[in-house]
Chain A
Amino acid sequence: MTPTRLGFKGPDAPALLEQQGLRIPTLPNRVVHWQATEPWGSGRCLRQGSTEFLVELDTRTAPQLSLNTPLPRAWTLVRSDHSLVLEGSAWRQSLPRICSFDFDRLRDEPDLVVMTLMAGISVTVIREPPGAANPSTDMALRLWCDASFSIYLQECLRSLGESR
């Protein structure tokens, strides 16, 4: 299922999301994972810096934001990032060839949002939480990148896998 992505930005963005009854990360560069029972259903909310949020919902339908109490400095933004999930164990050996970040750090800080370069392009990376969607015991990563670079990144990752 194609997830729905929304961006929120601005000094009042945290308040806007909290007004909707949503759990948001209290610290910058952290993620919270939403369950199906939460107001907008299952998904994840990434806090990228102090006033920017990427919300990804595991449904096709974007929620209708309440506009009864609009906040002057919070804006909803188009987010067309490409996302993909790296599973298995092979990426741990090959990823350092295209990215300098040590993703083992996510074992100790599973809610960390990593913004780094991978094969020369900007990516946002989180640890995929273990669960029904990710039954493997290996740590899985969820990545987002500029959609216009998605083919390039996928080719790089694929060639990494083939060249092992």
Chain B
Amino acid sequence: MPAGNWRRPAYYSTAPNDAQSLTAQQAIEEEVYSVRNAAGLIDVSTLGKIELMGRDAGLLLDRVYVGMVSNLQAGRTRYAVMLDEAGTVIDDGVVSRIADGRFYITTTTGGSTAIYRELQRRAAEWQLDCTLHNLTGHLAAMNLAGPLSRDILAHCTDIPLDDAAFPYLAMREGNVAGAAARIARVGFVGELGFEIHVPFDRAQAVWSELMLAGTGAGLRPFGVEAQRILRLEKGHIIVGQDTDGVTNPFEAGLGRMVRKDKGFFIGQRSLSILEKRGDRQRLIGFSLHTPQAQRSDSSLAESSLAIKDGHIIGRITSIAHSATLDRTIGLALLTPDHAIAGNNVRFRDDAGVMHVATLVAPPFYDAGNARQRPGLAQGTGT
């Protein structure tokens, strides 16, 4: 399936060591099951990857993200959100501090080129001591996720992986399968996970060695479709899908990211106006409870409208059947007076059939983040 300038696997139609081909739905469900119960490996190389170096690198990032980045300690990561001047969410990613004056960030796949150019332009405009290097095509990245991911990775690296040495949201540099690697312990899919970045020309060998190491543990590759379900269960948004051309961070449920007390950042002035004006829409989760709609072949889809008293009150931004939760879940942008957890809304499919859903505050899965930090708490699984 297309992903920016590249193509990514939607799913893997044949299980490892299994000659029998699977239907798309079977393959996706098995991939989700593997990540939730064993481990999965996904190629995320299309993520934008930019390194920033220099005395003012942290300052530049503080000015382009809504949160504080310059106070990150070396070896730590933080989720970060970027706005345009109008206060609209335009990108998100993970910021890692490698050392003093040296940061490494990821961007969305579609935003990598534009964000790199924008950062270069801003660094020059603000006359900052910051050198940038676009590593998007130089580094490959893969995400090893699942409760057994740590055991599998331990076979391929000498980096200590226990919680004390490599806690949640930490970043480490070392060797993985003989390749120089940067590893971030982050989890878009909501499980214990390690995002591994290696030189592009070593990626195939690293992938193969990880797959080999995970053979006995049930490791299998997973594609974009499984990833979308997994992240949806966790309530993680996709910028550009769960946001539109006017969505601000408060509407997208990212208000907690905004550090109003820090210095200038792009979109700050607009946000102060938007906050006073109030939300025009709000992103919220929903769960369908019509039995026949609790199927992946439900005719509801992204952009299906929410209708009340004959008026449009919003639209679906993400929807998927979750085998883990045994129901169809999704995210929708609704007018604020209707976006209230516990309320019922009606979505209309293309055939005009109405489907009743209950609104839910995400995440749908592991609200306490215990799965991503198994050393701190025992996860319940849902």
Chain A positions within 8 Å of B, measured between CB atoms, are: 7, 9-11, 51, 73, 75, 77-81, 146-149
Contacts and interface: CB of A to CB of B under 8 A. Distances in A.
A73 B129 CA distance: 9
Contact of A147 (B51, B53, B54, B200): B200
A81 B201 CA distance: 9
22 contacts: A9-B53, A9-B131, A10-B53, A10-B54, A11-B131, A51-B131, A75-B51, A75-B131, A77-B133, A77-B135, A77-B138, A78-B135, A78-B138, A80-B137, A80-B138, A80-B200, A80-B201, A146-B138, A147-B200, A148-B5, A148-B200, A149-B5
A146 B135 contact: no
A80 B53 contact: no
A10 B5 contact: no
Given A75-B131, A80-B139, A147-B138, 12 more contacts: A11-B131, A75-B51, A75-B53, A75-B102, A77-B138, A78-B135, A79-B138, A148-B5, A148-B6, A148-B45, A148-B137, A148-B200
B110 interface: no
Size bracket, chain B contacts: 10 to 19
A71 to B, nearest CB: 12
Interface in B122-165: 129, 131, 133, 135-139
A145 to B, nearest CB: 8
Nearest to A75: B53
Interface string B177-206: 000100000000000000000011100000
A92 to B, nearest CB: 28
A73 B54 contact: yes
Nearest to A120: B5
Given A51-B131, A73-B131, A147-B200, A78 B139 contact: yes
Among B5, B136, B137, the one with the most A-chain Cβ atoms within 10 Å of its Cβ is B137
A81 B54 contact: no
Interface of B: 5-6, 45, 51, 53-54, 102, 129, 131, 133, 135-139, 180, 199-201
A11 B200 CA distance: 26
A149 B46 CA distance: 12
Among A9, A78, A149, the one with the most B-chain Cβ atoms within 10 Å of its Cβ is A78
Nearest to B101: A72
Among B5, B53, B54, B138, the one with the most A-chain Cβ atoms within 10 Å of its Cβ is B138
Nearest to A73: B54
Contacts of A9: 53, 131, 133
A122 B54 CA distance: 26
Among B131, B135, B201, the one with the most A-chain Cβ atoms within 10 Å of its Cβ is B131
A73 B130 CA distance: 9
B131 A146 contact: no
A110 B31 CA distance: 54
B47 to A, nearest CB: 12
Contact of A10 (B45, B131, B180): B131
B51 A149 contact: no
Nearest to B131: A10
A11 B130 CA distance: 10
Given A147-B200, A147-B201, A77 B51 contact: yes
Contacts of B200: 80, 147-148
Contacts of B133: 7, 9, 75, 77
B19 to A, nearest CB: 28
Contacts of B199: 78, 80
B137 to A, nearest CB: 3
B149 to A, nearest CB: 24
A55 to B, nearest CB: 14
Contact of A81 (B6, B51, B138, B180): B138
B115 to A, nearest CB: 16
Q: What are the 7 A-B residue pairs with the smallest beta carbon separation, nearest first?
A: A146-B137, A80-B200, A80-B138, A147-B200, A148-B137, A10-B131, A78-B138
A156 B13 CA distance: 29
B97 to A, nearest CB: 15
Given A9-B53, A80-B199, A80-B201, A149 B135 contact: no
A78 B134 CA distance: 10
